[in-house]
Structure 1
Amino acid sequence: MAKKVTMQAIADYLNISKNSVSQALSGKPGVSEETRKVIKEAADKLGYQYRTAGKNLSTERKNIGLIASDFAFSHRQFFGEIYLSTEKEATKRGMDLTIQSISSRLKDEMILPSFIENKSVDGLLILSHISTDYINKIISTGIPTVLIDHHDPIIQADAILTNNRFGAYTAVNHLIELGHQSIGFIGDITFSPSYQERWEGYKLALRKNGIEPAKEWMFLDAKEEESSIGSFIDGLNESPTAWFCVNDGLGFLISSKLQQKGIKIPDQASVVSFDNGQLSQLSTPKITTMGIDLALYGKKAVEQLSWRMENKEEPITELLLPATLIKRESTAKAPHASLAGNSH
């Protein structure tokens, strides 16, 4: 019986490394097309048995990576659900998934994980933001990359995003339909593109309904802290009858602060937030919010990455997933004008 030809035998025959042979025969990047052709010819000549005999190289099991900052991974309810759906979809497609958290040190020193540095993955998912320079360094490796819940004008990569503008528009329009004309905004618009876009959606809804946004009711650098929200509310001469908050944490804090001041929710003030996280459900009353299908995020990200790995030269694509209005007890018809001001 003929002796089985190994990758090492091909490497010895051509006087090159076994790793180069492996990359060439598995269709992975890292070797030039000329070298790949020479290696394949040598493999055929020596009688090498391909593991995927009778199949195209594209049917080889793919390895993909998923990375996120320590900060993103700490938000388990939101990003944890996206990660789980990513894992489920990868498994369904017969892919192996490697995960790594990126610490502040790795980010600041621009150190890439070894599986990216040595290109042992066929594609990569980046969950949320790390830093623009860090993400661009990854993209410069040539590994097909898809961003999840983040994008930037100077990052050239596919992205799976929430339709933040239209989501915020829907939320604020809901308040306007209830008769609210004075609507405040709470959020740090410099924190992420999502919050900036939600602010734009808020302004769009007001202007489409002939309402001029009032600067004194827009808290554009709001920190998710009780003291920050408290100081802002206490400093207002007059309160709006409704608030739109860029996330549930801020919605929870606004709702709590207004009630401490004796303003009844929703009788005297309505509150809408975004994300449908635990805080919107734990708040008393429960907060009307914009729900995001987190499982769909992971599914679409793996779907897009699979396509991108096969279509590397196609134009960059951004996919916007819808947000859905979930009506709860924190929103009601606008009170009479006499109730619009502070209770003091």
Structure 2
Amino acid sequence: MKKKVTMQDIADRLNISKNSVSQALSGKPGVSEETRMLIQKAADELGYNYLNNRNNQKPNEKKGINIALIASDYAFSLKSFFGEIYLSVEKEMRTRGWNLLIESIDQDSKDKLILPSLLSNHQIDGILILSHISTDYISKIINTGIPTVMIDHHSPYLQADAILTNNRFGAYKAVEHLIQLGHQNIAFVGDIEVSPSYQERLEGYMLALKKHGIEPSQPLLFTDAKENQEEISGFVDRLSYMPTAWFCVNDGHGFLVQSVLQQKGFNIPQDISICSFDNGQLSQIATPKITTVNIDLNYYGKKATEQLSWRLNHKDEPIHEILLPTTLIVRESTAVNK
């Protein structure tokens, strides 16, 4: 009868303590990655029978492909935008028979660069990062070596695949729509420090003005606009003259701008036209409904999953940044400038 292989047999073979073997095989911290790999290799060679407290599965023997979806608490709270992307990712995972594990990163973990424990126990095959957390935090995730795809975020300091909206072209088309309606004085509203997407939308705004020979007016650029009514109202009150159109970096800003202007007695779109970005719920419930730029959020999940699948099999290939197209949805908030 074949002798049962024990942890002590593995320890004796590698000339290390039994405790180190136990820590490595149970996925607990306390041993280096190199030692952990040596222990696992020795265990396999000796025919060690892994037992897990919850089942008879090897700690590192996965059932299928495990993918972690990681985002900040803030991103997960934006259900009308990132929630739809999450649902599309979940659908794609089910279609492929992959397992999806969700990790929400709170402020303390972000500040202290504490990664989710599931990334260190060899259970995760790939990672999707939804939106921005912090450059240092995302860098630490990427440095685990687990194939990673970022969704709606990129940075020159982050070397990982990214699925992105073509923000520049989307904004360009939106502002050009306003120009074609006869508008020359077009305000920009949004906090460009919040996301690279907002900075790119400002660049699209500038490109459209340049293309049509319009000099941007500094007083009309509200590039650090927080998404609250009081701040928007204060900006409107400080203007020396009223622009005939406003391009807003997202639907939240668009809704607030429209509301503030209406409260101050302006008619939309007879007096002023409003255009925003994202085609979220606020653009659809506003009165009048707001002209906006649509992003296919379902397609985000599909492309992110496809790219991660490709990356799992092409780990040494150069990184890819994939731009998804946008479409302009013209509604009642924009009209010819009379």
Classify the secondary structure of the residue corresponding to 1:151. coil
| 2:227 matched residue in structure 1 | 224
Q: Deviations over 1:280-330 (max 9, x none)?
A: 111111000001111111111111111111111000111111111111100
| 2:275 matched residue in structure 1 | 272
Q: Is the 8 A contact 1:70 1:101 kept in 2?
A: yes
Check if 1:260 corresponds to 2:263.
yes
Distance in 2 (alpha carbons) for counterparts of 1:291 and 1:249: 14
In structure 1, what residue type is equivalent to 2:282? L
Distance in 1 (alpha carbons) for counterparts of 2:35 and 2:26: 10
Where in structure 2 are the equivalents of 1:66-85 lying within 5 Å?
Answer: 66-85=69-88
Gaps of 5+ in 1: 24-28, 47-58, 336-344
In structure 2, what residue type is equivalent to 1:72? A
Check if 1:156 corresponds to 2:159.
yes
Which of residues 319, 331, 335 is equivalent to 2:334?
A: 331
User: Please, what TM-score do these two structures have when normalized by structure 1?
Assistant: 0.84
| 2:174 matched residue in structure 1 | 171
Distance in 1 (alpha carbons) for counterparts of 2:85 and 2:165: 13
Q: CA RMSD in A?
A: 2.7
How far the C-alpha of 1:195 sits from its partner, in A, is 0.4
Where in structure 2 are the equivalents of 1:118-267 lying within 5 Å?
Answer: 118-267=121-270
User: Please, what TM-score do these two structures have when normalized by structure 2?
Assistant: 0.85
Structure 1 residues 141 and 205 mapped into 2: Cα distance closer, same or farther (>3 Å)?
same
In structure 1, what residue type is equivalent to 2:310? W
In structure 1, what residue type is equivalent to 2:331? R
Structure 1 residues 30 and 307 mapped into 2: Cα distance closer, same or farther (>3 Å)?
farther
Structure 1 residues 30 and 322 mapped into 2: Cα distance closer, same or farther (>3 Å)?
farther
Q: Deviations over 1:212-231 (max 9, x none)?
A: 11111111111111111111
Q: Deviations over 1:103-132 (max 9, x none)?
A: 101111111111012232011111111111
Distance in 1 (alpha carbons) for counterparts of 2:171 and 2:152: 16
| 2:18 matched residue in structure 1 | none
Classify the secondary structure of the residue corresponding to 1:275. coil
| 1:283 matched residue in structure 2 | 286
Structure 1 residues 216 and 117 mapped into 2: Cα distance closer, same or farther (>3 Å)?
same
In structure 1, what residue type is equivalent to 2:203? E
Gaps of 5+ in 2: 15-20, 28-32, 49-61
In structure 2, what residue type is equivalent to 1:220? T
Check if 1:319 corresponds to 2:322.
yes
Classify the secondary structure of the residue corresponding to 1:88. helix
Instruction: Calculate percent identity across the aligned residue pairs.
Output: 60
Distance in 1 (alpha carbons) for counterparts of 2:34 and 2:22: 13
In structure 2, what residue type is equivalent to 1:330? S
Distance in 1 (alpha carbons) for counterparts of 2:80 and 2:171: 21
